Chain A
C-alpha cells in the first residue's frame, strides 16, 4: 500500500516543478492522425479490394462466374486457359475458374470456423492467464505449451479419424491449433492494458472484474488481436487446403481449393493449369491476408 501511495506523490512533485501559472501545453495526440492516415492510404485499400472481391466470390459466386461448377460440357474438356475459360477446363469440361469461385465459400467457411474457435478459446485463455493471478497464469501457459507441442496437423487428424472427414472436423482441428497464438497475443496485450491508469480508475469508480474487463480491457487490447485474426485466417486457409489436398476435407464433387489441386494432380502431365492456377489464387489470398494483418498492426499501434 505504501508503494502505491508514493507513486502519485512523486508525480505531483514533478508537476509542481514546472513553472507555476502557465498551463502545460497539451500534447498533440498523434495516434488519431496516424489512424486516418493508414486508413486512407492506397496500400490499405489495394490490399482490401481483392479481399472484398474474394468475399464476394464466397457470398454470391454466380455473380462472378455464370458457368456451372459441378456439371461440365464434355466436349470442352482440357481446354487451356483463354478468354472463354480464364483458368481452362478440367477432365469433365468444367470451368476451373467457376470451380475456384464456387469453392471459395467452402474454404472460407471452414477457415472462418477454425479462426472463430481460435479467437474465442484463445481470448478466454489469454484473459484468464493475464487477470486471474499467478497460479492461473502458470497453468494456462503450460496448457498453451501443450497446444504448441501437439502439431495442429495431428489434432486435425485425430478429429478426422474419429469422425468422418469433412469441413467441420477440419475446421475444429485447425481451430484448436490456432488457440495458442491467440492466447499469447491476448495475454501480452491484456498485461499491457491492465497496468494503464484508466483501468485503475475504473476499479476506483466501483467497477467489477467483469465490467472492467469487458468495457475497458478487452476493447483496448483488440488491435493486435484483429491483426492476428487476418494473418491467422490465411494460415487456416493454407492448413485447410493442405488437408483438403490429402483428401480429409469435403468429398469430391464439392469444389474446395485444396481438393481442386488434388484432383488436378492426376492430369499434371497434360493440363498444368488444373493445379497451377487454383494454387495461385490461394497464394494471393494468403499474401493479401498477411499484408492486411501488417496494415492493421500499424493502424492500431499507438
Chain B
C-alpha cells in the first residue's frame, strides 16, 4: 500500500515538473519574450520601458536562472506575476476562483448523479425502445456545444417563458441553469464509460448467480454492479477536470457570470503571457492532484490493483 501511494505521488510530481518544463520551453520558443509581447500593442513603449519591465519581472536573467527561480516559486505556491496588473497570478486567480469553483464542482456532482441515473434507467428499462433511446443520449450530450445549449436555454427560459433573468441575479434559476448546461456536457463521457463498464460486469458469471438466487434487477444493479463498474468511470471523471475548466469559462461568458472566465478573456486580450502561463500551471496542478486522489481511491474500490504492480512495459521491437 505504502509503495503504491509513494509511486503515485512520485508520478504526480514528475508530471507537474514535466508540465512546468514544457510550458517554460514553449514560452521560450515564442518569437518574443512575454514583456515584449505584452507591450507590443502599446505604441508608447520605448526600449527603456521594455528593459525596465523585463528587469522588474526577471525576464532579463539567464534562462537557467529563470527556469530554476520560477521552479522554486512553484513550490512556494508562487505562479509568477500578471504583466497587466502586476499582481501575483495566484492572488489574481484566487480572487475570482471561488465562483468558478462553485459552478464547476456543482456541475461535476450533477454530472455524476446524472450519469448514474442515466445508466441505471438504461439498464433497468423494461422496454427495448426506451433502453435504446437512453443509450443514445450520451453521444448526443457530447455533441452539443456548451455555449449553444446555454444560449438556447437562455432564449427559451428568459425570453420566451420569462422564468429567469438574462443576467445573474442570485435567483435559483440563474444558478441552476448554468450548472445544468455544464453538467450535461460533462456527464456524457462519464455515462458512456459507465455504460460500457456496467455491460462488462453484467457479462460476468456472478450476475447469473445473483439472478438465479432471485435478486431483483435493481438490487443487482445498485448493490452489486455499480461498485464493480465504478472504477473506469472514476478514471474518466478525473480526466474531465480540463473539460470542466474550459466549459466553466464558456458558461460564465454565456451567462455573464463573473469568475475565472473573465480573467482568461482579459489576459488573452491583453496578451498577458505570464498570466496565461500561471493559469496553465495552476490547472495542470489541479488536474494532477484530482487524478492522484482518484488513483489513491482506486484500491478501496478494487484491491486487486495493489497486487498487480506495474503492468508490463513493452520491450523494444528489435533488440
Contacts and interface: CB of A to CB of B under 8 A. Distances in A.
A294 to B, nearest CB: 8
Interface stretch (B91-99, B118-126, B268-276, B301-309): B268-276
A246 B265 contact: yes
A272 interface: yes
A142 B14 contact: yes
Contacts of B152: 275-276, 279
A269 interface: yes
Given A146-B18, A150-B280, A151-B242, A161 B267 contact: yes
A282 interface: yes
Interface string B245-258: 11001100110000
A77 B36 CA distance: 44
A11 interface: no
A165 B276 CA distance: 14
Contacts of A276: 148, 151-152, 155
B146 A154 contact: no
A83 to B, nearest CB: 24
17 contacts: A131-B316, A143-B18, A145-B15, A148-B242, A149-B291, A150-B287, A152-B246, A153-B245, A154-B283, A158-B276, A162-B27, A165-B268, A209-B317, A262-B147, A276-B148, A283-B145, A290-B143
Given A158-B277, A161-B268, A275-B152, 15 more contacts: A130-B317, A136-B316, A138-B313, A142-B18, A146-B18, A146-B22, A150-B242, A152-B246, A153-B246, A158-B280, A162-B30, A246-B253, A246-B265, A264-B151, A290-B139
A162 B23 CA distance: 13
B159 interface: yes
B173 interface: no
A201 B227 CA distance: 45
Contact of B316 (A133, A155, A265, A287): A133
A242 B273 contact: no
Contacts of B37: 161-162
5 smallest A-B Cβ distances: which pairs? A151-B242, A133-B316, A153-B246, A279-B148, A286-B143
B272 A161 contact: yes
B288 interface: yes
A151 B287 contact: yes
A153 B249 contact: yes
Interface residues of B, number: 59
A157 to B, nearest CB: 5
Contact of B264 (A132, A134, A136, A157): A157
Judged by DSSP, the binding face of B is: helix
Judged by DSSP, the binding face of A is: helix
B313 A146 contact: no
Nearest to B136: A287
A296 interface: no
Nearest to B245: A151
Given A154-B276, A261-B151, A275-B152, A290 B142 contact: yes
A195 to B, nearest CB: 9
Contacts of A105: none
Given A150-B19, A157-B276, A133 B315 contact: yes
Nearest to A160: B268
Contacts of B280: 150, 154-155, 157-158
B49 to A, nearest CB: 20
Interface in A230-282: 234, 238-239, 241-242, 245-248, 258, 261-262, 264-265, 268-269, 272, 275-276, 279, 282
Contacts of B166: 268
Contacts of B239: 148
A302 interface: no
Interface string B4-41: 00000001001110110011001100100000010000
B154 A268 contact: yes
Contacts of B148: 261, 275-276, 279, 282-283
Nearest to B140: A287
Contacts of B139: 287, 290-291
A102 interface: no
Interface in B126-147: 139-140, 142-147
A179 B265 CA distance: 25
Name, among A149, A154, A212, the residue most crowded by chain B CB atoms within 10 Å (CB to CB). A149
Nearest to A129: B314
A269 B154 CA distance: 9
